[in-house]
Amino acid sequence: MASEESPLLVSTPHEAIYDRFTPNQKKWILFRVSFVGLLAMFIQVTFVPSIPRIAKDLDLTDAVVSLAFSISIFANAIGALIWASYSSFYGRRTIYLWGMPFICVGSCGVALSASLQSLLFWRFVQMFGCSGALSLGIGVIGDLYKLEERGTAVGAFFSITLIGYTVAPFVGAGAATQYWSWRNLHYSIGAWGLLEMLFIYLSLPETSHPGTLGIDKVPSRRSIHIVWINPLSTLWLLRSPNLFAVMLVSALMVNTMYVLVVPMAYTIGVQYGITNEAIIGAFFLPNGLGSFTGTLIAGRLSDIVIRRWREKRRGAWCPEDRLRATWIGGLIIVPLSVGASGLITTYIGGPIGLALNILCLYANGVGVDSVTNPINSYNVDVVHSRSAEATAACIASWSLILSAASTIIVPSIERIGVAWTNIIAAVLAIIGQGIIFLTIRYGDHMRASIDVGFSTIENN
C-alpha cells in the first residue's frame, strides 16, 4: 500500500514498461481514445435539447419523453461498470470494438423509433454502447503514462471529450430541433460510430501492460473464450474511504453544474425572455469552454503539485498530494460561480445580468473540472492495476446520485427560488472541499483501514 513513506526512485524497472510506445505513438493513441470520448459525450448531451421535437413527432408529452434521459443515466452507470470490468480481462482495444456496434445499432434504432417503448429501448442500447468511453480512456492513460505525466494526459483527454459537451446542446437544439431532423441527427451519430470503430480496428493497439490481462492467465482457452464477470464487483472498490470520498466530492461538484444548466430554460430563459431553443442551447457553450480550460490547467497543475511535494518530502510519494490542486477550484471558483448566478438571475435583469450569468457559467466549468480532473488522476494513481474499474465505479455512482438530485432541481427552484437553490448547491460544494481536506490530511490512515489493492511507487 502506498503511503508517505513510499520511496521515490529516479528510475525503477517498472517504469520501463511505459517506454513500449514512443511519445508520438502515445499522443496518437491519446488522440484516438479522446475522440471516442467526444462521441460518447455528444451522444449523452445532444438528446435533451431534442426532447420537445421528439415529443411532438411521437405525439407524446415532454415529461414522458424525458424518461429517456433517466434511462440514459442508468445505461451509462451499468454500462461503465460492465465495460471497465471486462477491459481488465480482455483488454482495452477489444472492449472498444465490442462497444461500438451498440452505438451504431442503437443510434439507428433511435432514429427509427415510432413509439415510446421503442425510443426507450434503443436509447438504452445507444447509451450502453458509449458508456465505457470515459473509464476506458482513463485506463488507457494509466497504461501509457507515468505517475507524474498522468494529470496532463487526463487534461488533454477531457479537453477533447468536453468539446462534445460544449457543442452538443447547440447542435441538438439548433440543427436538429430548429432546422434539421432529430432522426437524421441520430443516423449521423450511427455513421460516426461506424467510422470510429473502423479507425480503432486499424490504428489502436492494445495498451494494457503485458501479462496483466485476465485472458493472459487462462492456461488453455478456446478461440472464442467467454467468461462471466460480475460488473457490480467493481463498486466494491468504493468500500475504500479514499475512493468513496473523492467519488462523493465529484458528485457534489458536478451537481453545481447541473443546477446551472438543467433548469436553464426556467431560469435564464424566463428571467431574460429567451424562448428560442437554439439560443438556450448555445448557453451551454460558455460552461463547456470553461470545462475545456479548467481540465487543461488542472491536469498540468496536478502533475506540478505531485513533483513539488515529492521534492519537499525528499523523494517520498503521498498519493493525496495530487488533490491539493483542487483548492482554488473547489473552495473558491465553484461555490462563488453557482451562488452568484442564483443571485444575479434573481436580482439583476437586462443585458448586464445576462452577461454576468454567462461569466458564471464559464467560471463554473473552469472550477468543476479543476476539481474532477485531479480526482480522475488520483483514482489511477491509487489503484493503478484497476484504473478503468475505479473510474467506472466513480462515474456510475455519482451518475446515479445526480440522477436523483437532478429531479429536485426544478421543484426546488419553484418552491424556494433560484437564489436559495444555487446557494444550497454552493454550500454542498464547500462541504465537498472539506472532504478533500480530510482526505489529504488523513489519506494514509484511510488507505490503511481498508486496502483494496492500492498501488505503490514500485508498481505505479
User: Phi, psi at residue 254, to the nearest 5°?
Assistant: -65, -30
Are the C-beta atoms of 246 and 379 separated by less than 8 Å?
yes
Residue 224 CA, distance from chain mean position: 32
> 6: which DSSP letter?
B
371 pLDDT above the threshold of 70: yes
Q: Can you give the pLDDT at residue 221?
A: 61
Are the C-beta atoms of 360 and 260 separated by less than 8 Å?
yes
DSSP of 155-196, one letter per residue? Answer: HHHHHHHHHHHHHHHHIIIIIIIIIS-HHHHHHHHHHHHHHH
Contacts (Cβ under 8 Å, ≥6 apart) of 16: none
11 pLDDT above the threshold of 70: no
Superfamily of domain 14-209+231-449: MFS general substrate transporter like domains (1.20.1250.20)
DSSP of 146-157, one letter per residue? Answer: -GGGHHHHHHHH
Higher-confidence position of 104 and 52: 104
Mean pLDDT to the nearest integer, 21-48: 90
Mean pLDDT to the nearest integer, 66-88: 85
Q: Can you give the pLDDT at residue 238?
A: 93
Contacts (Cβ under 8 Å, ≥6 apart) of 456: 1, 2, 6
Q: Can you give the pLDDT at residue 398?
A: 86
Report how far residue 396's alpha carbon sits from residue 394's, in angstroms, rounded to the nearest whole number: 6
Place of cell 415529443: 55
Cell of 389: 474499474
> 34: which DSSP letter?
H
- The torsion angle over the Cα atoms of residues 257, 258, 259 and 264, rounded to 10 degrees, is 100
pLDDT digits (tens, 9 = 90+) for 254-297: 999 989 987 887 888 888 888 776 677 778 889 888 998 999 89
Contacts (Cβ under 8 Å, ≥6 apart) of 407: none
Report how far residue 377's alpha carbon sits from residue 250's, in angstroms, rounded to the nearest whole number: 13
Grade residue 62 by pLDDT with cuts at 50, 70 and 90: low
Residue 87 CA, distance from chain mean position: 18
Grade residue 172 by pLDDT with cuts at 50, 70 and 90: low
pLDDT digits (tens, 9 = 90+) for 306-363: 999 988 988 888 999 999 999 999 999 999 999 999 999 999 988 999 999 999 999 9
**Single-letter amino acid code for the residue at 338:** V
Residue-averaged pLDDT of the chain: 87
Spell out the domain ranges in the chain: 14-209+231-449
